[in-house]
A = this chain, B = another copy of it.
Amino acid sequence: MAGSTYGTIFKITTWGESHGKALGVVIDGCPAGLELNEADIQVYLNRRKPGQSNITTPRKEADEVEILSGVFEGKTTGAPISLMVRNTSQISKDYSDIASYYRPGHADYTFDAKYGFRDYRGGGRSSGRETIGRVSAGAIACKILKQLGIEVMAYTHSIGPIKIDEKCFEKEAILETKTAMPDRNADQNAVLYLENAMKNLDSVGGVMECRITGVPAGIGDPVFEKLDANLAKAMMSIGAVKAVEIGDGTCVSQSTGSTNNDSFCMENGQITKKTNHSGGILGGISDGSPIIIRAHVKPTPSIFSTQQTVNQAGEEIDINIKGRHDPIIVPRAVVVMESMAAITLLDAMMVNMSAKLESLERFYK
């Protein structure tokens, strides 16, 4: 339980450091019979790839994925799928300084406290590059969910004070804007805002949102394995996320029962809800409405202005971080959110298949 494995049946194990030889993931428990090739995964990895615009790190990485096992004649076999991405653009000398001190907002100090020393090059295991494994696995989970009629879609909801306008929501824009916002106007304002922050040698935070549609009612387990509990864990496990909301989220604490309760109603002979304050989950189990999740992301801790900290000798010092860093984490993290949501949901759906005795009887008789 050293923390690099996730999931009960659809189980992923990620590995790799920012400046090591490679990063990767092993996906165990992927159902047999799924058509899969590198391109299915590459399209997701490209969404988190660095160096794609002036508001991301200039580090250039091809991030090309290789399938090493688990696929035969174009289809998954049920055996573990091993995926690997070689690092190609490590410039470790950028990091020689930071070996000796603790960068504010980073995990340098806590890794040293836990393990006694650390791979300091680019944050080592605590780097954002760790998410390459998550996104590779997420691409597969999303492909399976799509075949079950379920769409998982994450996007940038706000950058600093700039929020998207629901009325301007344009799905295609997510993949086309620099910020991964689904609102082209908000995107333009956000880019200006980010450029200004970069001039100030500073960084900014933002909010990611994920909508999952097509989920049948009944997914998730009561008590500890609630679907929203696992989604919250999945989101908070993404570096830099400091808050997670489901549905109306923080607003519920200032609402009343008469407002917050969603009335059930009938629509085309199906039970549905008039509103969706619940964000698609009641009692930890999906209620058939879209699942809505928001994750609040802190500003990139690597900033170029002078900061105060201490070094391993216990001296208070001033530091100036070098290297290549994003002024905001959100746009490249959106696909990580989408991946973690998909992995979590798919796993819950697999576990759910034996909830009723009649399901077992139908399957085995």
Does the CB pair A298–B130 fall under 8 Å?
Answer: no
Does the CB pair B148–A78 fall under 8 Å?
Answer: no
Chain B residues lying within 8 Å of A309, measured Cβ to Cβ, are: 263-265
Q: For window 76-125 of chain A, which residues contact chain B by CB distance below 8 Å?
A: 76-82, 84, 102, 104-107, 109-111, 113-119, 121, 124-125
Count of identical protomers in the assembly: 4
Does the CB pair B245–A4 fall under 8 Å?
Answer: no
A296-B249 contact, Cβ under 8 Å, with A5-B11, A114-B285, A236-B229: yes
A206 interface residue per 8 A CB criterion: yes
Does the CB pair A298–B222 fall under 8 Å?
Answer: no
A58 interface residue per 8 A CB criterion: no
Does the CB pair B308–A111 fall under 8 Å?
Answer: no
Closest-CB distance, A90 to chain B (whole angstroms): 13
Interface residues on A, range: 35 or more
1/0 contact string of A59-77 vs chain B (CB within 8 Å) = 0000000111110100111
Does the CB pair A250–B296 fall under 8 Å?
Answer: yes
Q: Name A86's closest neighbour in chain B (CB-CB).
A: B68
A185 interface residue per 8 A CB criterion: no
Chain B residues lying within 8 Å of A2, measured Cβ to Cβ, are: 9, 11, 28-30, 78, 80, 221-222, 225, 355
Nearest 8 Cβ contacts at the A-B interface: A107-B283, A3-B221, A3-B225, A2-B29, A203-B257, A110-B285, A233-B233, A32-B115
